[in-house]
Chains A and B, each alone.
Chain A
Amino acid sequence: METWRLITTWGAPPEFNMGLDGALLEDPEGPPTLRFYTWTPAALSLGYFQRFEEVPAASDAFVVVRRITGGGAIHHTNELTFSLSASLEHPLFEGPVARSYERVHEVVKGALLELGCEAELRGAGELNSDAPDTGMCFHHSTALDLAWGARKGVGSAQRRRRGRVLHHGSIKLGPSKYDTDIASLEGVDDPGEVARALQGAMRNIAGIKLSPGVPSPEERELAEELGARAIDQDFVRRR
């Protein structure tokens, strides 16, 4: 069975979280990696192309960073955040963007089912969590988003660079001040429980075993540099 590196960083600072994901994308030859993380303090991340002014919560949030992935803003609190970084040739990611989402979300769906939650791709139509003008990821849905109870429950976005992909995901354990009226995992309090379910689904659905590891010294060094940029307020407010 194929083995990926597993990196877990609970309660890390926002700039570290963004910097490390950037570093995991950078090396086209880097090992395929699944990363689980949470944020201390809670932070709002803007999508790569979002205008600061388009997201009312950005002016109010305690910490704001900019992701390298696209899409809408996410308030990172009370959630499991994960990233997958691998070659675009990998069977999970090869081919059109839409197909890669379907495959990744099949894995996420399996993990959610383990936790008693029956999620489905949204498909056609709209969700009750859709809300115009907030700029928040969970308030904007596409056909490829996972939803339950007619609300969006998993935020996701990709960045593709030099033959490699970084896939971001957020699974909510509850709503937040800015991520209101969304789907979340009721009765699950521990992001670690979601991580374990996702780890199991990677094995059972994608055929990928995970081996605990850490970032290389080069990745750590690059993560520091990229993290400083992600939280630099000129960069955050540049658009």
Chain B
Amino acid sequence: MRPDDRQYLSSHEWVKIEDDTATIGITDFAVDELCSGNEGDLVYCDLPELGRQVEAGETFGEIESVKAVSDLNSPVAGEIVEVNPDIEDHLEILSDDPWDRGWLIRVKIGKGDSASLLDATAYEELIAEKA
């Protein structure tokens, strides 16, 4: 079971909301789709500048595996206030610990709707359909 202290996008990003701050990352399923268990297949992650405003559902970055570039989408609207400084040089963190050390950005939640979010149970059901 994936962590139930956060919510999920169907495009496999997770968001954990504490007060007015959203911490955002990608799920183990997303990592596995990109690299099929071979963590060395992740080659690049492009994360945004601090201070950038994002809309819910908007692309905030991109991740490249050996054979595909995928968009990273923000579940919430707001201002990017923190970017994980370790990710770009240590992509293996995303395979080792996507839920904690593998966070990508923190967003100070602004006005505007969230994207359509799933709880952990609904996300598990989504994954089960794809398995």
Which of A's residues lie within 8 Å of B, judged by CB?
48-49, 68-71, 94-99, 101, 142, 144, 156-163, 165
- Interface size of B by Cβ–Cβ distance < 8 Å? 22
Taking CB as reference atom, which chain B residue is nearest A161?
Answer: B71
Residues of the B chain whose Cβ atoms lie less than 8 Å from the Cβ of A70: 43-44, 64-65, 67-69
- Chain A to chain B contacts (Cβ below 8 Å), 7 pairs: A49-B44, A70-B67, A98-B36, A158-B67, A160-B69, A160-B70, A161-B71
Taking CB as reference atom, which chain B residue is nearest A142?
Answer: B66
Which of B's residues lie within 8 Å of A, judged by CB?
10-11, 32-36, 43-44, 46, 59, 62, 64-71, 73, 130
B contacts with A: majority SS = strand
B70 touches A157 (CB 8 A): no
Residues of the A chain whose Cβ atoms lie less than 8 Å from the Cβ of B34: 96-97
> How close is A146's CB to chain B, nearest CB, in angstroms?
12
B36 touches A97 (CB 8 A): yes
A95 touches B130 (CB 8 A): yes
Residues of the A chain whose Cβ atoms lie less than 8 Å from the Cβ of B11: 162-163
Inter-chain pairs besides A49-B69, A97-B35, 16 sampled, C-beta below 8 Å: A49-B62, A70-B64, A70-B68, A94-B130, A95-B130, A96-B32, A97-B67, A97-B68, A157-B67, A158-B67, A159-B68, A161-B70, A161-B71, A162-B71, A163-B10, A165-B68
Task: Choose among A157, A162, A163 the residue that contacts B68 (Cβ–Cβ < 8 A).
Answer: A157
Residues of the B chain whose Cβ atoms lie less than 8 Å from the Cβ of A94: 130
- Expressed in whole angstroms, the Cα–Cα distance for A49 and B42 within the complex equals 13
B69 touches A158 (CB 8 A): yes
A160 touches B66 (CB 8 A): no
With A160-B69, A160-B71 given, is the CB distance from A97 to B64 under 8 Å?
Answer: no
Taking CB as reference atom, which chain A residue is nearest B10?
Answer: A163
- Expressed in whole angstroms, the Cα–Cα distance for A95 and B130 within the complex equals 7
Which 10 pairs show the lowest CB-CB distances between chains A and B?
A158-B68, A70-B69, A160-B70, A98-B36, A70-B64, A97-B68, A49-B44, A161-B71, A96-B33, A96-B36
B130 touches A101 (CB 8 A): no
A48 touches B62 (CB 8 A): yes
Residues of the A chain whose Cβ atoms lie less than 8 Å from the Cβ of B36: 96-99
- Expressed in whole angstroms, the Cα–Cα distance for A7 and B77 within the complex equals 37
> How close is A137's CB to chain B, nearest CB, in angstroms?
11
A48 touches B69 (CB 8 A): yes
> How close is B58's CB to chain A, nearest CB, in angstroms?
10
Residues of the A chain whose Cβ atoms lie less than 8 Å from the Cβ of B65: 70, 97
Residues of the A chain whose Cβ atoms lie less than 8 Å from the Cβ of B10: 163
> How close is A163's CB to chain B, nearest CB, in angstroms?
7
> How close is B2's CB to chain A, nearest CB, in angstroms?
18
B67 touches A144 (CB 8 A): yes
Residues of the A chain whose Cβ atoms lie less than 8 Å from the Cβ of B35: 97
> How close is A93's CB to chain B, nearest CB, in angstroms?
10
Residues of the B chain whose Cβ atoms lie less than 8 Å from the Cβ of A163: 10-11
- Expressed in whole angstroms, the Cα–Cα distance for A32 and B71 within the complex equals 20
- Expressed in whole angstroms, the Cα–Cα distance for A162 and B70 within the complex equals 9
With A48-B64, A49-B64 given, is the CB distance from A97 to B33 under 8 Å?
Answer: yes
With A96-B32, A97-B33, A161-B59 given, is the CB distance from A71 to B67 under 8 Å?
Answer: yes
